[in-house]
A and B are shown apart, each in its own frame.
Chain A
Amino acid sequence: MDAGGVGGAGDGCFEKMETEEERTELLRDRFRLSVISIADAEAKKLGMQVAEPVVACIADLAFKFTEQLAKDVELFAYHAGRKSVNVKDVILSAHRNDHLTSLLRSFSRELRDKEPKTERKRKKSFEKGETSAPS
């Protein structure tokens, strides 16, 4: 199976495409299941029911949103000269919405605070520069 470069014509590429489509569908299905559980939990909290087509639609939109997010954070990381996407890239993707940005910032701060103590001590002294530890 001598399929030339990527995207070249030939059996090898066709097989690869089919598997990729299958993989995408699998991810989409798993994703939809997550959306269903999150949406149902939220609706229950509000004492409401949700029609199935509504959840399916939200799932599709959220999946597209995820794909777009992937592109955005990749571009931001690349723009910063990095190959690895970090938290700042994700928060930057929400820059058009101040409220959303601050929600993500507090979430990331909470995440950092939950980290193991050694990591935290290093960051804390680095960022705050407070004379906390009595020697």
Chain B
Amino acid sequence: MDATFDPDLIHAIFKMVWSRRAERNEEIDVVDIEVGAGTSKKSRPTTANPSALRVSCELLRLFVTEAIERTAIIAEAEGINKIEPTHLERILPQLLLDF
């Protein structure tokens, strides 16, 4: 089995982002007059199911492996067997567009 991310770690990062966002939204809602179903939804924290976390881990794993694979191609083309920052620079724009 390939090395991959720990779903619990990814879940922790997600929760951190979600609580940051919830705090910001709370500030906004105090001023907002349009209170209704929307507000009550936001006040409950977002969760993720285990499969979603596993697929997220896979998505992130693909990001890392794709980055390595693409930089390796560039390095190999130069006849070098060590991936350097200049190789990363070359593939970065397309990588970010593809993800």
Contacts and interface: CB of A to CB of B under 8 A. Distances in A.
Interface of A: 5-7, 20, 23-24, 27, 30-31, 34-35, 37-39, 41-43, 46-51, 53-54, 57-58, 61-63, 65-67, 69-71, 73-74, 77-78, 83-87, 89-91, 93-94, 97, 100, 103-104, 107-108, 111-112
Interface residues of B, number: 57
A104 B21 CA distance: 26
Interface of B: 2-6, 9-10, 12-14, 16-18, 21, 23-24, 26-27, 30, 41-42, 44-49, 51-52, 54-56, 58-65, 67-69, 71-72, 75-76, 81-85, 87-88, 96, 98-99
A85 B48 contact: yes
B68 A66 contact: no
A65 B9 contact: no
Q: Is the interface of A mostly helix, strand, loop or mixed?
A: helix
B62 A103 contact: yes
Nearest to A28: B13
B20 to A, nearest CB: 8
A48 B76 contact: yes
Given A6-B26, A69-B59, A100-B62, 20 more contacts: A27-B13, A31-B5, A34-B3, A34-B9, A38-B3, A38-B65, A42-B68, A42-B69, A43-B68, A53-B85, A61-B67, A66-B10, A66-B13, A74-B21, A74-B46, A85-B49, A87-B51, A103-B58, A104-B58, A111-B51
A41 B2 contact: yes
A42 B52 contact: no
Given A38-B64, A57-B85, A97-B98, A43 B49 contact: no
A50 to B, nearest CB: 5
A50 B46 CA distance: 37
B84 A51 contact: yes
A59 to B, nearest CB: 8
Nearest to A23: B16
25 contacts: A5-B30, A7-B26, A7-B27, A27-B9, A35-B64, A38-B2, A39-B64, A47-B81, A48-B76, A51-B83, A53-B85, A58-B88, A63-B13, A65-B60, A67-B17, A71-B17, A73-B56, A78-B46, A83-B47, A85-B52, A89-B52, A90-B55, A90-B56, A103-B58, A107-B55
